[in-house]
Chains A and B, each alone.
Chain A
Amino acid sequence: MIKGNPQRKQQLSLFARELIGFALLFAILGLVVNFFFQQSIYENIDRGLRWQKIGILTNRRQPTFRTGQTSGNSQTPPPARNTPFRTNVLIFNSKGKIVNNQMLGNRLYEVFGNTRLDVTKVNKIREMTLMSSDNSWHYFRTLLIKVPKTNPNPMYAGRYALILENIDSDLLAIRGFRQSLLLTLLIFWFLAFGVAYFLSRSSMKPILESWNRQKQFSANAAHELRTPLTVIQNQMEYLLTKPKSSVMEQAEPISTTLEEVRHLQTLTNRLLTLARSDADIIQINRQEMSLQTWFEQTIKPYVEIARSQSKSMETSIRAAGKGHFDPDLIRQLIIILLDNAIKYTPKGGTIIFRVAKVRDNRLKIEVRDTGSGIPDADKKHVFERFYRSDKSRNAKTGGNGLGLAIAKWIVDEHKGTVSVADNHPKGTVFTVFMPLK
């Protein structure tokens, strides 16, 4: 493939779009997963805070210290550093002084000592960062509550209590999770590279194929048109060099021209048929036909034609009853197959034409010739447009390589099948099966 051609560009843009699509998808997936993970962890912590609050306010029990074994996020490991605390409660008096420093012990007091009381933040969950004695930062989620004077615990009554939940381990877990998520997404994105490449290639394949076919088709059509046109031009120019001669004298170049015009006519008719069949605008005109008589009538001229070329034709038509098909198209199909058979059968050879009704109310049409046969490699291509077994494309055989393509189209329109095989001992057999309904 040449660089910079439209298909290449198309494939590249497909690839890029697929890649961006994957990237976006993965990014959104990452964000959503991350959000929900974080949310669930914070929810768990906040639930713990509220639980503590209820505990203090109802004095159900002394505030206990959670030491790692929690319910919700049990999979988060205890923090690596020596942090013996998870939940702590600071009790402030109304002046903002910490009154439970004895209970906390020196080490914790060092950490919490600088905490200020901000009465405007009562009942609000906030985050707080504190530095411990060993100069490491600790993160807390806090809830400040005002304990009413009626609280049975004298320690709390009428004071402010700040519940601090250490979230170092949770943050660590979130960070760890984010890292592995990012890594996973990156790996998948790289996989997406491959997938996008594969997808863009496979989606380009049919486009490329039909594009190439179209290109080939135009090239072939142009080629087929050019040869007769050249002949016509030559003949006409030749006639101009004989201004004094009569039509009678120059009948031969005129007739050659006419012949080429005929070729062109056949060719354009067939091209038109194919173009219309592609556009799906040909109306199939199905009629109820009496099979036996119709086939006998249709085949009759060919017996004479074969005989006139010293070739014999055997026909066997065993099709009682009626059939439903487009007589013009099926006649065209038979003409195409028989023309081919006669064309490629040498003098003295035999052409066999058989029509028979087979199972499921189907019709089998068989045309056998005793010609040179078609090589296996060509068999699967014979129904392609402009495909010819002999590559020379000489006009002597008269064909234009569209006959069998049209035959195939006609059979398809009748929901039938057409196949080609070797005839034994030599030659080719074309077999058509089609339903009669």
Chain B
Amino acid sequence: MRVKALLKRSGHLGNDNQMVVAPFTVDLSKRTVNVKGKILELNGKEFDLLVYFLQNPDTIITKEQIFDRLWGFESETAISVVEVYMSNLRKKIKQATDLKPIKTLRNVGYMFETEELA
């Protein structure tokens, strides 16, 4: 819901519950991602992660920010779990699109680069 509200405000939300950042088409109500006509199989947290990146393209996002956003609580040890989800998400995007849009900044975080999508 919060995601939707944010998207509405920022204007990314095309028709109702859809978000399009080529080649990704995200249906927020069905929680599905379409890439080039194929469905990208993502589990809950991976989906949330991708949506987060699509909402904040070309932005450096720290692991802490991701954890806070996806898990919703503060933890001193939790950052490593972000890395796990990140590597899964990357693998799945790579398999489906052969793209590597998510760049790692060592000791800092990640950045979703839109120029990689072109």
Q: Is the CB of A305 within 8 A of B75?
A: yes
Using an 8 Å CB-CB cutoff, how does the interface string of B64-90 with A read, 1 for contact, 0 for none? 100000010111111011011000000
**Bound CA–CA A343/B78 (angstroms):** 10
Q: Which chain B positions have C-beta within 8 A of A374?
A: none
**Bound CA–CA A331/B72 (angstroms):** 12
Q: Which chain A positions have C-beta within 8 A of B74?
A: 266, 335
**Bound CA–CA A259/B76 (angstroms):** 11
Q: Is the CB of A252 within 8 A of B108?
A: yes
Q: Is the CB of B76 within 8 A of A251?
A: no
Tell me if A301 is interfacial: C-beta within 8 Å of chain B. Answer: yes
Q: Which chain B positions have C-beta within 8 A of A339?
A: 75-77
Q: Is the CB of A335 within 8 A of B73?
A: yes
Q: Which chain B positions have C-beta within 8 A of A343?
A: 76-77
Q: Is the CB of A255 within 8 A of B108?
A: yes
Which of B71, B73, B76, B81 is A398 in contact with, Cβ under 8 Å?
Answer: B76
Q: Is the CB of B76 within 8 A of A399?
A: yes
**Bound CA–CA A258/B107 (angstroms):** 12
Q: Which chain B positions have C-beta within 8 A of A309?
A: 77, 80
**Bound CA–CA A339/B83 (angstroms):** 17
Chain A interface bracket (under 10, 10 to 19, 20 to 34, 35 or more): 20 to 34
Known: A252-B108, A259-B64. A301 touches B76 (CB 8 A): no
Q: Is the CB of B107 within 8 A of A255?
A: yes
**Bound CA–CA A29/B60 (angstroms):** 83
Q: Is the CB of B76 within 8 A of A258?
A: no
Which of B60, B62, B81, B106 is A305 in contact with, Cβ under 8 Å?
Answer: B81
Restricting to A315-344, which residues have a CB under 8 Å from any CB of B? 331, 335, 339, 342-343
Q: Which chain A positions have C-beta within 8 A of B78?
A: 301, 305
Tell me if B57 is interfacial: C-beta within 8 Å of chain A. Answer: no
Q: Which chain B positions have C-beta within 8 A of A262?
A: 64
Restricting to A245-289, which residues have a CB under 8 Å from any CB of B? 247-248, 251-252, 254-256, 258-259, 262, 266
Known: A262-B64, A304-B84, A307-B84. A251 touches B77 (CB 8 A): no
Which of A252, A254, A335, A399 is B75 in contact with, Cβ under 8 Å?
Answer: A335
Closest to A263 in B: B76
Closest to B109 in A: A255
**Bound CA–CA A262/B64 (angstroms):** 9
Tell me if B105 is interfacial: C-beta within 8 Å of chain A. Answer: yes
Distance between B42 CB and nearest chain A CB, rounded to angstroms: 16
Tell me if A308 is interfacial: C-beta within 8 Å of chain B. Answer: yes
Q: Is the CB of B108 within 8 A of A305?
A: no
**Bound CA–CA A82/B106 (angstroms):** 115
**Bound CA–CA A259/B73 (angstroms):** 16
Known: A251-B105, A331-B73. A305 touches B64 (CB 8 A): no
Q: Which chain B positions have C-beta within 8 A of A307?
A: 81, 84
Which of A252, A266, A308 is B107 in contact with, Cβ under 8 Å?
Answer: A252
Q: Which chain A positions have C-beta within 8 A of B62?
A: 255, 258
Known: A262-B64, A307-B84, A308-B84. A301 touches B108 (CB 8 A): no
Other than the given A258-B62, A309-B77, A335-B74, 12 more pairs (CB < 8 A) read A254-B108, A255-B109, A258-B64, A266-B76, A301-B71, A301-B75, A301-B81, A304-B81, A307-B84, A308-B80, A309-B80, A399-B76
**A to B CB contacts below 8 Å, 26 in the list:** A247-B60, A248-B60, A251-B109, A252-B105, A252-B107, A255-B62, A255-B108, A258-B62, A258-B64, A259-B64, A266-B74, A266-B76, A301-B71, A301-B73, A304-B84, A305-B80, A307-B84, A308-B80, A308-B81, A308-B83, A309-B77, A331-B73, A335-B73, A339-B75, A343-B77, A399-B76
State the A residues within 8 Å of B (CB).
247-248, 251-252, 254-256, 258-259, 262, 266, 301, 304-305, 307-309, 331, 335, 339, 342-343, 398-399
